[in-house]
Chain A
Amino acid sequence: MKKLLNEPNAYVDEMLEGLCAAHPQYFRRIGEAGRVVARTDGPVSGKVGIVSGGGSGHLPLFTGYVGRGLIDSCAIGNVFAGPSVDDCIEAMRAADGGAGILRLYGNYGGDRMNFDMAGEMLDMEGIETATVLGADDVASADAAERHKRRGVAGLIYLYKIAGARADQPGATLREVAAAAEKAGRGCATTGVALGPCIVPEAGKPTFTLAENEIEMGMGIHGEPGVWRGPLKPADALAGEMLEMVGADLGLGRGERVSVLVNSLGATPHEELYILYRHVARELAAKGVTVVRPLIGRYVTSMEMAGASLTVLRLDSELEALLDAPADCPFWSVP
């Protein structure tokens, strides 16, 4: 294992220490185990709090998006392992501005179980909570079983939309949850994996691919995808990914969307722009207008090679929320 670390078991805690040391204007680290990161200027009184959480290994997700106009706090687990119930409770308290709390995280069984249990414990204290799950990975289940889909890169759009809605004066928990749900319904992602990553605590690759072999639709923890086969030209892969997400959303002429071309970690910006070039052309040819495209490392699996494509369908409400101010070290809208 060739990784920049000291002790595999200290990987997450040392990462969090560095993250908070680098960005003290945004992040403060709290919780009995130091596994909760909250806004330095939070909780914001009278605002619906937005809490997220999940395993480490996906930076900037989840923790990196703690900030104004995004999420208020985050519970952090080990690499690819969910946060503890106790940390979920702590994160929810740190997001509590007295107007209710939205739990907004990816659709994984363990995370769901822990956040639900944490939610029940806070409900007993009379704090109003709601849940919206990111479930945008089209390859993980058919459209008929949307609720079974895993959450991947599209979750950051849900952060942005919910965060902006919560910042509007007088926004209620129900309204913030409804905005997040609307974004979730209009959000679809698929990814292609070129090479694995190594979980530090395990010390071995999460999966293996032969030289020149790729896997279309693979999940961000190496969950099996749609097909495995030889590498193809970027345009062919971009076209196939766009076809999958476009068909899922039923995109039509005249629609407006945002597009996220995301590196899973090792894939460079150059290759993301090569993919985006084709996506932009195809969408223009279909009469679909792209607003605020995001190209870069937004949701990763450490050094995994590959990319994902997310399309978010916009209406006037969602477009305004996407344009609203937000600020964190990894995504700012002035």
Chain B
Amino acid sequence: MSTDSRMLVEALGRWADRMELAAPELNALDGQLGDGDLGATLSKCAANIRKAIAPPPADIPGIFKACAIACTKASGSSLGTLLAVAFMTLTKETAGKNQIGDAEWPGLLAAVRDALSARGGARLGDKTVLDAIEAVRLGLEGTGPEGRLSAAKAALEAAIADFRGRENRIGRARIFAERSRGLDDPGMIAARHMLESIG
């Protein structure tokens, strides 16, 4: 199986719907340690992306680039900027492509992981969205053609459960590191909504 530009645009539409639905939950979760604007920021990204892909750009890199620019216009949580970085990375990585094969996703996620780490300064294990991306990547990679998505979802759930008891090691939540134990990282939960919406 592979993803073409029409499927990508449809998936982004479902993604945008889900970000808006999940916004209150993500705001509340973020408000426990941060400033509580994660859901609002992602909603803004979703609304901007909806506008940017209607009508959709002609090819896959064009779609990703439009999404990246759309996310740079959302202020608030750092995750908005990180999304822009992720889409920019996907733009570069898919240059010249008309479709993305299923087997290419782990490589694309590795590129996104590295770009986010370089831009945001987080490392694996810091209890951030990076750990969610890595879990999904490993889940996709370790499975044959069948059941990739369910393996990715299971891997992400395992990572969320594993990190719950750990401390946040970066960002505003780091300041309240002790209090972050027992709380899910809002970025990881946002990643759960993203994965569920597109798959």
Contact = CB atoms under 8 A, between A and B. Distances in A.
Interface string B157-183: 000000000000011000110000000
Contact of B175 (A33, A116, A199, A224): A224
Contact of A113 (B69, B71, B120): B120
Interface residues of A, number: 25
Contact of A84 (B75, B85, B176): B75
Interface in A165-204: 199, 201-202
Nearest to A75: B75
Contact of B75 (A87, A113, A116, A202): A87
Given A77-B76, A81-B35, A109-B120, A117 B171 contact: no
Q: How many B residues are at the interface, by size bracket?
A: 20 to 34
A223 B84 contact: no
Contact of A202 (B31, B71, B72, B77): B31
B73 A86 contact: yes
Contacts of B76: 77-78, 81-82
A223 B172 CA distance: 9
B72 A117 contact: yes
A85 B121 CA distance: 17
A77 B176 CA distance: 23
B107 to A, nearest CB: 23
A148 to B, nearest CB: 11
B37 A85 contact: no
Contacts of B77: 81, 110
B36 interface: yes
A266 to B, nearest CB: 21
A84 B121 contact: no
A117 B170 CA distance: 19
B80 interface: yes
Contacts of B80: 84
A32 interface: yes
B171 A109 contact: yes
B8 to A, nearest CB: 23
A89 B36 CA distance: 25
A114 interface: yes
B43 interface: no
A11 interface: no
Contact of B81 (A35, A78, A110, A202): A110
Contacts of A224: 175-176
Contact of B119 (A82, A116, A223): A116
A151 interface: no
A16 to B, nearest CB: 13
Contacts of A81: 35, 37, 75-77
Contact of B84 (A78, A85, A87): A85
B121 A117 contact: no
Interface centre among A35, A83, A201 (most CB of B within 10 A): A201
Given A82-B75, A117-B72, 9 more contacts: A81-B75, A85-B73, A86-B72, A109-B121, A110-B77, A116-B119, A117-B84, A201-B37, A223-B175
